Amino acid sequence: MDKAKLTDIRTQLIDRRWRLERAIDESKEDTRLVSLLQEVDLALDRVANGTYGMCKTCNEPIEEDVLVADPLVCFCLDHLDAEQQRALEHDLKLASRIQAALLPENGLKKGEWRVHYHYEPAGLVSGDYCDLVAFEGDDGGLLFVVGDVSGKGVAASMLMSHLHAVFHSLAAFDLPVNQLVERASRLLCESTMSSHFATLVCGRAGNDGTVEISNAGHLPPLLFHGDEVIRLEATGLPAGVLCKAPYSVRKVSLDRGDRLVLYTDGLSEATSGDLEYGEERISQLALRHAGLSPEELVAAYVEDLNTFTSGSARQDDLTILVIQRAS
Ligand SMILES: [Zn+2]
């Protein structure tokens, strides 16, 4: 575990200790609280003597996700008893269902815009974020976000759910996309552990064919404009890295039939032997299939990726989102 994470956990433990002491005062020495306080003190001792995060049975490091979810744990996943393992599995399945319920409607149509996406966790839960908000009314437009949260597994999926809540609260304020990203970044920075951040692209498609886009350290979305490919590169740091990071906005105009492709590294960094799928292949596929609808293009990417990786299991969470101005 790196130093920053350990410092975060130590801070959390001290905070818990303080809350427990106060609760014990108020509850006249509730024995359950007292034994919990002893557990917190033992965890702080382990931080102090450098044995924190090691499994008491096998002496191997405990999975970081498990520690983030419960800093008092002192056994790795392999050495939980059957009942603890069942409880954990149940929690993971529940987390997976909650996450699936946060996804937007697929095949969305708003004015002239047609959107389709593919969202696929590598495990039970994903650290990718994919979202769409269609504003009411004819001039409302469409907000879209694709992001990738640092880390993996349960901790990343919790941060993804948090981002979802942040964007849905901010979407109501009708802000320019760069200000949306600035505020989301600040909220993320103030509320999560310092080692957690997210790369993301936030865009707003207006009804006149213009798209405003702000890219917080994410892989560049590709704009297919006629037979030209335009990379929309990052205009700021990943969200949550600095509380006061500035973001700029880029405005592009899409003609009928033009489309935007957004993706996470589950696509571009998928590997086959020493080869990487790569941005060039993403470009070429869209150029070759200029006539496909967003749904068909997304399906073509998934099929091509499966061919490329010979159908092997995903190494990383995968998100592909295509937005097209209908011709
Ligand atoms: Zn173990």
Residue 313: pLDDT above 90?
no
Q: Read off the amino acid at residue 113.
A: W
Q: Mean pLDDT throughout 95-102?
A: 89
Query: What pLDDT does residue 124 have?
Result: 85
CA of 61 to the centre of ligand 1 (A): 8
Q: What is the largest CA-CA distance in the chain?
A: 74
For residue 113, name the pLDDT band (cuts at 50, 70, 90). Answer: very high
- Average pLDDT score, the chain: 90
Query: What pLDDT does residue 260 have?
Result: 98
CA of 72 to the centre of ligand 1 (A): 15
| pTM for this model (two decimals) | 0.80
Query: What pLDDT does residue 41 have?
Result: 93
Q: From the CB of residue 149, how many other CB atoms can be counted at a distance below 10 Å?
A: 30
Give the closest residue to 267 by CA, choosing from 317, 203, 216, 198. Answer: 317
Point out the least confidently predicted range of 101-105, 163-167, 191-195, 316-320: 191-195
Q: Read off the amino acid at residue 287.
A: L
Cα radius of gyration rounded to whole Å, the chain: 22
Query: What pLDDT does residue 143 have?
Result: 95
For residue 172, name the pLDDT band (cuts at 50, 70, 90). Answer: confident
Residue 53, CB-side half-sphere exposure with 13 Å CA sphere: 19
Residue 17: pLDDT above 70?
yes
CA of 82 to the centre of ligand 1 (A): 14
Residue 166: pLDDT above 80?
yes
CA of 261 to the centre of ligand 1 (A): 43
For residue 68, name the pLDDT band (cuts at 50, 70, 90). Answer: confident
Query: What pLDDT does residue 196 have?
Result: 78
Cβ(277)–Cβ(271) below 8 Å: yes
Query: What pLDDT does residue 264 have?
Result: 97
User: Homologous superfamily of 103-325 in CATH?
Assistant: PPM-type phosphatase domain (3.60.40.10)
In order of 72, 77, 199, 217, the CA distances from 202 in angstroms are 37, 37, 10, 11
Q: Mean pLDDT throughout 274-292?
A: 95
Give the closest residue to 270 by CA, choosing from 222, 298, 302, 231. Answer: 302
The Cα 181–Cα 178 span in angstroms is 5
The Cα 327–Cα 107 span in angstroms is 16
CA of 58 to the centre of ligand 1 (A): 4
Q: Mean pLDDT throughout 287-311?
A: 95
CA of 73 to the centre of ligand 1 (A): 11
Query: What pLDDT does residue 191 have?
Result: 76
CA of 54 to the centre of ligand 1 (A): 8
Point out the least confidently predicted range of 82-91, 199-208, 276-285: 82-91
Query: What pLDDT does residue 193 have?
Result: 62
CA of 81 to the centre of ligand 1 (A): 11
CA of 12 to the centre of ligand 1 (A): 23
Residues 219-260: tens digit of each pLDDT: 999 999 988 999 999 988 999 888 888 999 999 999 999 999
Ranges of each domain in the chain: 3-80, 103-325
- Percent residues over pLDDT 70 in the chain: 98
Query: What pLDDT does residue 34 have?
Result: 86
**Per-residue three-class SS string for the chain:** CCHHHHHHHHHHHHHHHHHHHHHHHHHCCCHHHHHHHHHHHHHHHHHHHCCCCECCCCCCECCHHHHHHCCCCCCCHHHCCHHHHHHHHHHHHHHHHHHHHCCCCCCCEECCEEEEEEEECCCCCCCEEEEEEECCCCCCCEEEEEEEECCCHHHHHHHHHHHHHHHHHHHCCCCCHHHHHHHHHHHHHHHCCCCCCEEEEEEEECCCCEEEEEEECCCCCEEEECCEEEECCCCECCECCCCCCCCCCEEEECCCCCEEEEECHHHHCCEECCEECHHHHHHHHHHHCCCCCHHHHHHHHHHHHHHHCCCCCCCCCEEEEEEEECC
CATH of domain 3-80: 1.20.120.910
Point out the least confidently predicted range of 30-39, 140-149, 214-223: 30-39
Would you state the torsion angle of the CA atoms of residues 283, 287, 289, 290, taken in this order, to the nearest 10 degrees?
130
Cβ(77)–Cβ(289) below 8 Å: no
Q: Please indicate whether residue 283 or residue 138 has the higher confidence score (pLDDT).
A: 283
For residue 195, name the pLDDT band (cuts at 50, 70, 90). Answer: low
For residue 32, name the pLDDT band (cuts at 50, 70, 90). Answer: confident
Would you state the torsion angle of the CA atoms of residues 148, 133, 114, 304, taken in this order, to the nearest 10 degrees?
20
Query: What pLDDT does residue 164 have?
Result: 93
Residue 158, CB-side half-sphere exposure with 13 Å CA sphere: 14
Query: What pLDDT does residue 256 have?
Result: 94
Give the closest residue to 211 by CA, choosing from 251, 158, 167. Answer: 251
